[in-house]
With several copies, the nearest count.
Chain A
Amino acid sequence: APEGPRLGQPLEAAAISALDITVFPDGTGLPPGQGTAVEGKAVYDAKCAACHGPNGSGGSAEELAGGRNPLTSAEPDKTIGTYWPYASTVFDFIRRAMPLDAPRSLGNDEVYAVTAYLLHANGIIGEHDRLDAATLPKIRMPNAAGFVWVYPERQPR
């Protein structure tokens, strides 16, 4: 590649931390905080149900729970419970993008709680299970083994 004029300015750790909202499957990037499904129900009903429907289905936006049709059926349901391979993705996506009308408005505890609520609604965790940076990465999702790499040579070992 051609050489550039090297105009990049150093990024301080604090600035990186403010910017960096990626959560990896192994939990890297999870912030402090915690929540349970019971706490999350209040968040969900107030800020999510209008679009996603009561209990995560039947709204105008994507179905988040209640998927029953297996992936091999004629009308497969691709929901968190039936399709998503990592719990980290639920936390990551909600924190970065939801609620659609006010992204980045939830506190970390609210994100943990509503994530727990959706995992519970999908039958993955119990309603009092505490979700935090330590417990979330340990969750094994039902469809964790459901993906094949089109380019296996690119898969990290």
Chain B
Amino acid sequence: KAGLAVTGAALAGTAQAVPPPPWMTRPGAPLSNYGQPSPHERAVIRWIAANADAPGNGISWTPLERLEGIVTPSGLHFERHHNGVPQIDPAVHRLAVHGRVGKALSFGIDDLLRYPMTSRLCFIECGGNSNAGWHQEPMQAPAGNIHGLASCSEWTGVPLATVLAECGLQPNAQWLIAEGADAAAMNVSIPLDKALDDALLALYQNGERLRPENGYPLRLVLPGWEGVTNVKWLHRLQLADQPAMARNETAKYTELLPSGQARQFSFVMEAKSLITRPSAGQALPGPGLHPISGLAWSGRGAIRRVEVSTDGGKTWQDAALDSPVLPKCFTRFRLSWRWDGSPAILKSRATDETGYVQPERQILVAERGRHGYFHYNAIVSWAVAADGSVSHVHA
């Protein structure tokens, strides 16, 4: 204890020489009704790529390489809109359920808020995420601008099965055509088995009501299924004996194979992972210990294992998985890496609970060709140069 006292008192005179920072000498800002990020973080945004003639037609990416953990803040959840974000009045909006049902019914948002709900953390990934992976040249862009059409939230809503049971199903009701109330009347066809399994009529995202760009006031959430099937601004569910063969399940969101045939109704987002740190465009300041951190997910269930290679795939080590590891949810993996300063290639490889292993790029490309556009889930490779700079490679 003497030590402390001597240090403290003996040097008190010189202490005045280093004044406290201004934020310790003036009262801070008032409390606020709804908080916002620090102005120092204003570079952490969704990067927008929209149609110049139609600013509501485009995408914006979650900046995965600047985020941590598994929850995506709602303000940074990726966007894909076909004709903008509708500004819906929830008092007017209704959900119609009709077609091959016992009784066609319509529900107000206030009605649905009185139904039993459930919450779950799960990812939503656009079928077109990572499509730069099909290019011959590895795209040099931040990880989020390549793979950031994927985000993870806690969604709360009414099980779709509850509402379908209320309407009653005709024996040949095998498909559900879900339609949004946006200016694209975005619609897709969903097999009844998924609708009755874990589909949610989501009303809340990360605790609060849905954000407008994520479907306010009502979104269909199909855990693990490609983004386009998670219909936003949901206003109509039509039971049918066949799919609608809508534009977004024929002309788009189908994967052209080298044979000229195209895969249709692919639905499930297969297991995938990527290292978010370090990743393309970042720089290691020098040799030494560096944390490797990344995300893994699978539309088929829980991630069982993530392996990391720092030698371009020659050897692999198991990464640690942060708790919780939930089905159809982002899983954060971590590994401490001691970099010796020589060039290295970093990869991660996810295995899900079904035993499915994320493929190497050349395997995926050999199987699917380079014009499938959707459902790219190959292993991602980042090259660390001797100067510490990190770039995207196909290795």
Contact = CB atoms under 8 A, between A and B. Distances in A.
A–B proximity contact (CB within 8 A): yes
Determine which residue in B8, B106, B262, B265 has the highest number of CB atoms from chain A within 10 A of its CB, and name it.
Answer: B8
A148 to B, nearest CB: 5
Contacts of B209: none
Contacts of B187: 22, 96
A5 B115 contact: yes
Contacts of A21: 179, 185
Contacts of A11: 96-98, 104-106
Interface string B220-244: 0000000000000001101011111
A20 to B, nearest CB: 6
Interface in A61-112: 61, 70-72, 76, 78, 80, 83-86, 88-89, 92-93, 96-97, 100-105, 108
A108 B16 CA distance: 11
Interface in B152-196: 158-159, 161-167, 174-175, 177, 179, 183-185, 187, 191, 193, 196
A74 to B, nearest CB: 9
Contact of B1 (A14, A28, A146): A28
Contact of A100 (B57, B163, B235): B57
A76 B370 CA distance: 10
Interface string A121-145: 0000000000001000000000000
A30 B5 CA distance: 8
Interface string B1-32: 10011011111111111111000111100000
A146 B184 CA distance: 26
B119 interface: no
A25 B240 CA distance: 12
Contacts of B175: 156
B330 interface: no
Interface in B319-338: 336
B98 A60 contact: no
Contacts of B336: 2-3
B96 A16 contact: yes
B251 A16 contact: no
Contact of B262 (A14, A70, A105, A148): A148
Interface residues of A, number: 66
Interface in A12-27: 13-27
Determine which residue in B10, B179, B260 has the highest number of CB atoms from chain A within 10 A of its CB, and name it.
Answer: B260
Nearest to A32: B12
Interface in B266-321: 266-267, 288-290
Interface residues of B, number: 91
B96 A86 contact: no
Task: Determine the main DSSP class of B at the interface with A.
Answer: mixed
A93 B247 contact: yes
Contacts of A146: 260-262
B371 A76 contact: yes
A21 B39 CA distance: 29
A46 interface: no
Contact of B9 (A6, A92, A93, A133): A133
Given A17-B8, A30-B9, A89 B245 contact: yes
B250 A6 contact: no
Interface string B78-100: 00001100000000000011100
B66 interface: no
B244 A22 contact: yes
A5 B165 CA distance: 11
Contact of B20 (A70, A83, A104): A104
A84 B247 CA distance: 8
A18 B17 contact: yes
Contacts of B18: 14-15, 18-19
Nearest to A30: B9
A28 B96 contact: no
B260 A85 contact: no
B151 interface: no
Interface string B51-67: 11110010000000000
A102 B27 CA distance: 7
Given A84-B250, A148-B262, A156-B241, A103 B162 contact: no
Contacts of B104: 10-11, 16
Nearest to B175: A156
B3 to A, nearest CB: 10
Determine which residue in B9, B163, B196, B259 has the highest number of CB atoms from chain A within 10 A of its CB, and name it.
Answer: B9
Given A10-B106, A100-B54, 10 more contacts: A2-B159, A20-B98, A20-B238, A28-B5, A83-B251, A88-B245, A96-B185, A100-B183, A103-B183, A147-B250
5 contacts: A19-B235, A23-B244, A102-B25, A147-B263, A151-B191
Interface of A: 1-11, 13-32, 51, 60-61, 70-72, 76, 78, 80, 83-86, 88-89, 92-93, 96-97, 100-105, 108, 133, 146-151, 154, 156
